[in-house]
């Protein structure tokens, strides 16, 4: 009997030792997988990389080309899954629905009123208009709700998230028109909501960063409304021009040049690539634009565009602050409550706003 127990213990011990070695080997393999010539890649994006399927990217490109409603729905559902990576966000403020009269149809929006909002009856609250990312062709104000709540809670500003029309059903300048309409709506309703019309801030990530930069240009060239600052998170500032990066391509992270080209073409339609409201990076005159915070990621094809735009702004006398998060990839700010870099980026927004 004792002999059998001893044998079982020995066998169990060998199994545990084997599993431990397997775990160590797997950990070392994954650690090596995260080490790149560009530096270490954050484990979350290592997992995203492992989950990324080349056929998914091809299906998305085909959906954009065909504009088939069912294929587009599948594409948008797939993109929405990325936002499930976010952690739990505690938000004790009030969320309000709003309808904005658009050029061709009503625009839905959400307003996030944080309990710790800056301002009182004597000092009006600043407002951040946040345009969501998604290649101008996916995502929406619902899947971005956690990020909006985190921005409102961290900055103490009211956050307004307008839903703009998506490509390829609605090509340029539909999204820009909607983004500018939302800006005017915020200005026109500032007194009603006790908002400070002199502290209206435009912000966005990726395609939304493009819209924020474009709205800042458009507002400057069309007598307002006044914009106090622009917060541009890995913005796509030239939708029809993307440099190939062999190192990032080899890593297999999305979005790659082919994907960015597809969403850019779907949004641009027949527009001129040098149209500055489509491609803010093509603008020669950047004088008179609002102060800009430009946030980029280490593993992102759009980082170069963000850095180039920040440099051009600075050279023309615009106040600019740039921050790069080297270990993460495109989309990182959306993973709130899980990535420290996401929380740090939003904290940087607060610091930038308070510095103005």
The β-bridge partners of 125 are 195
Catalytic residue among 206, 219, 279, 342: 206
Give the whole-angstrom CA distance, residue 309 versus residue 241: 14
Is residue 300 flagged as an active site residue? Answer: yes
103 Cβ neighbours under 8 A, 6+ residues apart = 177, 178, 181
Catalytic residue among 178, 279, 330, 342: 330
Length of the chain: 356
Q: Cα 345 vs. chain centroid, distance in angstroms?
A: 11
258 Cβ neighbours under 8 A, 6+ residues apart = 57, 61
H-run or E-run covering 198: strand 195-205
2 Cβ neighbours under 8 A, 6+ residues apart = none
257: tokens are 């040049």
Is residue 330 flagged as an active site residue? Answer: yes
15: tokens are 């199994």
Task: Give the pairing type, strands 229-233 and 320-329.
Answer: unpaired
Give the whole-angstrom CA distance, residue 102 versus residue 99: 9
Is residue 178 flagged as an active site residue? Answer: no
Whether 298 and 238 have beta carbons less than 8 Å apart is answered as no
Catalytic residue among 42, 236, 300, 334: 300
The set of catalytic residues is: 206, 300, 330
């Amino acid at each position: 009997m004792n002999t059998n127990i001893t044998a079982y213990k020995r066998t169990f011990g060998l199994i545990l030792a084997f599993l431990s070695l397997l775990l160590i080997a797997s950990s070392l393999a994954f650690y090596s997988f995260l080490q790149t010539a560009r530096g270490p890649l954050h484990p979350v994006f290592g997992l995203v990389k492992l989950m990324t399927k080349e056929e998914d990217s091809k299906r998305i490109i085909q959906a954009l080309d065909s504009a088939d409603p069912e294929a587009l729905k599948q594409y948008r559902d797939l993109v929405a899954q990325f936002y499930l990576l976010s952690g739990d966000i505690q938000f004790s403020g009030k969320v309000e629905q709003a309808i904005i009269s658009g050029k061709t149809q009503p625009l839905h929006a959400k307003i996030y009123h944080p309990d710790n909002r800056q301002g009182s009856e004597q000092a009006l609250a600043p407002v951040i208009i946040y345009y969501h990312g998604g290649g101008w062709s996916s995502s929406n104000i619902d899947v971005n709700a956690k990020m909006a709540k985190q921005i409102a809670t961290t900055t103490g500003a009211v956050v307004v998230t307008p839903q703009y029309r998506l490509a390829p059903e609605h090509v340029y300048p539909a999204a820009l028109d909607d983004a500018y309409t939302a800006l005017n709506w915020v200005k026109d309703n500032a007194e009603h909501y006790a908002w400070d019309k002199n502290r209206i801030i435009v912000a966005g990530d990726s395609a939304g960063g493009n819209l924020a930069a474009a709205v800042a240009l458009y507002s400057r060239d069309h007598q307002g409304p006044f914009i106090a600052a622009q917060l541009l998170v890995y913005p796509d500032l030239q939708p029809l021009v993307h440099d190939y990066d062999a190192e990032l391509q080899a890593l297999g992270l999305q979005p790659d040049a082919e994907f960015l080209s597809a969403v850019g073409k779907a949004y641009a339609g027949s527009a001129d690539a040098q149209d500055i409201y489509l491609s803010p990076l093509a603008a020669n005159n950047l004088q008179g634009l609002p102060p800009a915070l430009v946030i980029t990621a280490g593993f992102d094809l759009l980082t170069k565009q963000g850095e180039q735009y920040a440099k051009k702004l600075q050279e023309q006398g615009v106040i600019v602050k740039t921050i790069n998060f080297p270990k993460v990839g495109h989309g990182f700010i959306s993973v709130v409550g899980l990535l420290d870099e996401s929380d740090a980026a939003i904290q940087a927004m607060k610091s930038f706003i308070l510095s103005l």
